[in-house]
Amino acid sequence: MTETLSDIGEFGLIDLIRGLLQKEQVHAPEVTLGIGDDAASFRPGRGRELLVTCDCMVEGSHYLPEHMNPSDLGRRAMVMNISDIGAMGGRPRYATVSLGLRPETGLADIKAMYRGFISELRPFKASIIGGNITKTEHSAFIDITLIGEVETGKIVRRSTARPGDRILVTGYPGQAAAGLRLLREGKTHDNLINHPLIAAFIRPSHRAVEGQIVAQKGYATSMIDISDGLLGDLGHICEQSNVGADIFQDRLPSNGHMKEYSLSQDKPIYHMALRNSDDYELIMTCLPENMEAIKSELASLADTPVTEIGRINDKPRDISLIRPDNSRYKLFPTGWDHFIGEMD
């Protein structure tokens, strides 16, 4: 018999999770009180600002259980939050995890999900210090709040890009969205689960270490992670910095898997790179003289691909695609809105 949440109840599950965390996660001396009291507590580091982000995944809206096992689900939910902290230049430290679960949820699945959370936090010596378990009758949800630290004054915002800045992007945005489409088309048998595009959706990267280094060195004028697509998030930078951008179509990064998918769909590859995306890559802007330093810093780190895709201009919210023949095509920076759908 598979043991479920309704067999041990909320208090039983809290004990189980506490035991698992005690045994398997990193214990930072700054955490003065973990799970088991009215609140958790920690001592903030001196000379640090604290960063707080929260992100939620709802079954049905953000994921389907048949597409993702509980461990990958846990990793993905934590990656989304780690990416947000990294995009400010911060180091992830303390997480609270709030779960909405159906009573028939298996305990093995819940443990696997926590191991997914922990595996993503461990490289940062970050830990889960609190949380909440709630009963739900319908869609399960995972809501994580992640607290990070950054040296005072080193935060990199969205609102500080300046005309003349170069625009850089890490990795190959567009892969995860293509992977999700493949999954939705029902192509979920074993060999496709290992398809690189599907893997990009199920087990996305984050670039938090890259974000920290660039912030620490003071190289970036602005930074954002890509969760609304390259164009959508570049739009957030332009809007909040009151600038525009020129994007060179032939510089947009793509790899073999994207090319293959683009051909199979008869869709231009630049469209894949610009639109919907859940790749959690970073967009950075920088002074021209800092571009090579960023590239070599990130290349030495983990061979992270970084591509210069364009430059910031002084026309507020005016984003243009510069075609290979140098003609301009105006782009409208809209992302995926769950309540409306794609807005363009």
Q: Does the footprint of a copy of itself cover residue 96 (CB under 8 A)?
A: yes
Binders of a copy of itself among residues 237 to 256 (CB under 8 A) are 240
Candidate residues 17, 21, 25, 53; the one interacting with a copy of itself per rule CB under 8 A: 53
Q: Which is nearer to a copy of itself, 49 or 246 (CB)?
A: 49
Q: Which is nearer to a copy of itself, 37 or 303 (CB)?
A: 37
Using the rule CB under 8 A, give the single segment among 109-117, 149-157, 252-260, 298-306 that binds a copy of itself. Answer: 149-157
Binders of a copy of itself among residues 56 to 95 (CB under 8 A) are 56-58, 60-62, 83-85, 87-88, 90, 94
Q: Give the shortest CB-329-to-a copy of itself separation in angstroms.
A: 23
Strands 141-151 and 91-101: antiparallel
Instruction: For residue 8, count CB atoms less than 10 angstroms from its CB and return exposed for 0-12, middle for 13-18, buried for 19 or more.
Output: middle
Place of tokens 């005309």: 163
DSSP string, 240-278: HHT-EEEEEGGGS---HHHHHHHHHHT--HHHHHHS---
Q: Does the footprint of a copy of itself cover residue 26 (CB under 8 A)?
A: no
Q: Does the footprint of a copy of itself cover residue 37 (CB under 8 A)?
A: yes
**Are 175 and 257 in contact, with CB atoms under 8 Å apart?**
yes
Cα–Cα distance between 39 and 266 in angstroms, integer? 54
Candidate residues 28, 48, 107, 307; the one interacting with a copy of itself per rule CB under 8 A: 48
Would you tell me how many other CB atoms lie within 10 Å of the CB of residue 222?
A: 24
Binders of a copy of itself among residues 188 to 227 (CB under 8 A) are 224-225
The dihedral of CA 88, 306, 243, 235: what is its sign?
A: negative
**Mask of contacts with a copy of itself, 269-308, x by CB under 8 A?**
----------------------------------------
Q: Give the shortest CB-141-to-a copy of itself separation in angstroms.
A: 6
Q: Does the footprint of a copy of itself cover residue 100 (CB under 8 A)?
A: yes
**Are 114 and 17 in contact, with CB atoms under 8 Å apart?**
yes
**In a 3-state reduction of DSSP, which class is residue 133?**
strand
Q: Does the footprint of a copy of itself cover residue 139 (CB under 8 A)?
A: yes
